[in-house]
């Protein structure tokens, strides 16, 4: 098992004493250390980022336990294991990357984690340059991370995580702030990493097209509890997506129209517009 939540609650303290916000309620969730591509979705404020921050012990549960590989995280701070190995194995790209960047230059920022995890300076620099190239940010390596655009900051933060090769990747809205082509490239990059290495990827997104194209499992949060945990096809076949403040992926809206109004019978195992076009070509060739 990679990550396992047992009866986890999380409360945030309020301004006044005895006042608090319930952000997570009775979460039970098992995530394999390999081969999962999980999308966490749900309305704004439903608890997605809070849930993800428990997955590498950035936050402690108020009640319950979170097991992360061999370490068990409990509500009591001083009972928790040394977190370095958890952080090495589970890499986290924050929702707001500007909180994550802090060094003088992008290069130093990307090198920081590998150095911290025991890479030599030469190894860290080589790795930083390699991932920068992968993300197409080699030209900004000597700039200050604070003088970047939102999209560049996001890529720098992603590079900082890929640089030390964690086993599980946590991505809180990784495509936020990127232009459409940049967003597609980044998703393809994560998908290829997942395919080639079998690394488990857990991503939070509001983009149902991304969910439908890439996820192998969808976890839906609704007002702090898990309301659905299963495959993406079933989520969108019933009204469940609607009840959870989600919209249908574009490809499925189009398929519904083709099936209901134009007499086609295209199934929901069609994950992108390109897939749909291929299926329509087949139909017109056979008809």
Ligand X SMILES: Nc1ncnc2c1ncn2[C@@H]1O[C@H](COP(=O)(O)OP(=O)(O)OP(=O)(O)O)[C@@H](O)[C@H]1O
Binding site for ligand X (CB under 6 A): 12, 21, 23, 42, 44-50, 95
64 contact partners, CB below 8 Å, separation of at least 6: 5, 6, 7, 8, 9, 26, 27, 75
Q: Using the minimum distance from each CB to ligand X, give the nearer residue, 137 or 219.
A: 219
Q: How far is the CB of 59 from Mg ion (least distance, A)?
A: 13
Selection from Mg ion, ligand X, none that 175 binds (CB < 5 to 8 A by kind) is none
Which residues, 257 to 286, sit near Mg ion by CB under 5 A?
none
116 contact partners, CB below 8 Å, separation of at least 6: none
Chain centroid to CA 254: how far? 26
Q: Binding of Mg ion at residue 152 (CB under 5 A)? A: no
Q: Is 21 left (phi over 0), alpha (psi -120 to 50) or beta?
A: beta
At which residue do the structure tokens 């996820």 appear?
Answer: 215
Among the listed ranges 18-26, 43-51, 242-250, 275-283, the one in contact with Mg ion (CB under 5 A) is 43-51
Integer Rg of the chain from CA: 21
Which residues are 67's β-sheet partners?
4, 72
What are the backbone dihedrals phi and psi of residue 183, each rounded to the nearest 5 degrees, phi first? -65, -45
Q: Using the minimum distance from each CB to ligand X, give the nearer residue, 44 or 269.
A: 44
Selection from Mg ion, ligand X, none that 44 binds (CB < 5 to 8 A by kind) is ligand X
Contact assessment for residue 52 and residue 254, using Cβ atoms and an 8 Å cutoff: no
Which residues are 201's β-sheet partners?
37, 169
Q: Using the minimum distance from each CB to Mg ion, give the nearer residue, 167 or 223.
A: 223
CA distance 28 to 64: 9
Distances (CA, A) of 115 to 61, 107, 125, 249, 265: 29, 12, 9, 41, 55
Q: How far is the CB of 45 from Mg ion (least distance, A)?
A: 8
Q: How far is the CB of 287 from Mg ion (least distance, A)?
A: 47
Q: Which residue lies nearest Mg ion, judged by its C-beta?
A: 49
Q: Using the minimum distance from each CB to ligand X, give the nearer residue, 152 or 224.
A: 224
Contact assessment for residue 228 and residue 46, using Cβ atoms and an 8 Å cutoff: no
Q: How far is the CB of 12 from ligand X (least distance, A)?
A: 3
Q: Binding of Mg ion at residue 49 (CB under 5 A)? A: yes
Q: Using the minimum distance from each CB to ligand X, give the nearer residue, 188 or 243.
A: 243
Q: Using the minimum distance from each CB to ligand X, give the nearer residue, 47 or 160.
A: 47
109: three-class secondary structure by DSSP = helix
Which residues, 91 to 110, sit near Mg ion by CB under 5 A?
95
Q: How far is the CB of 262 from ligand X (least distance, A)?
A: 36
Q: Using the minimum distance from each CB to Mg ion, give the nearer residue, 201 or 266.
A: 201
Q: How far is the CB of 200 from ligand X (least distance, A)?
A: 20
Binding site for Mg ion (CB under 5 A): 49, 95
């Amino acid at each position: 098992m990679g990550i396992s939540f047992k009866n986890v609650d999380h409360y945030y303290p309020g301004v006044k004493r005895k006042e608090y916000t319930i952000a997570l309620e009775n979460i039970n969730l098992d995530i394999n250390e390999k081969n999962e591509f999980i999308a966490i979705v749900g309305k704004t404020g439903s608890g997605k980022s809070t849930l993800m921050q428990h997955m590498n012990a950035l936050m402690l549960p108020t009640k319950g336990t979170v097991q992360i590989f061999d370490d068990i995280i409990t509500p009591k701070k001083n009972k928790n294991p040394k977190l370095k190995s958890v952080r090495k194995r589970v890499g986290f790209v924050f929702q707001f990357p500007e909180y994550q960047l802090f060094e003088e230059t992008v290069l130093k920022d990307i090198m920081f984690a590998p150095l911290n995890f025991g890479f030599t300076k030469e190894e860290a620099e080589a790795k930083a340059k390699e991932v920068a190239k992968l993300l197409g940010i080699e030209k900004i390596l000597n700039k200050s991370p604070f003088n970047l655009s939102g999209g560049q900051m996001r890529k720098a933060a992603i590079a900082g995580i890929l640089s030390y090769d964690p086993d599980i990747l946590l991505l809180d809205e990784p495509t936020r702030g990127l232009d459409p082509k940049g967003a597609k490239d980044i998703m393809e990059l994560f998908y290829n990493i997942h395919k080639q290495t079998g690394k488990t990827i857990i991503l939070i997104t509001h983009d149902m097209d991304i969910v439908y194209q890439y996820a192998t499992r969808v976890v839906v949060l609704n007002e702090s509890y898990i309301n659905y945990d299963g495959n993406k096809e079933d989520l969108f076949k019933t009204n469940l997506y609607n009840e959870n403040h989600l919209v249908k992926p574009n490809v499925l809206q189009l398929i519904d129209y083709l099936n209901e109004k134009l007499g086609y019978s295209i199934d929901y195992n069609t994950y992108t517009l390109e897939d749909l076009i291929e299926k329509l070509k087949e139909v017109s060739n056979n008809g």
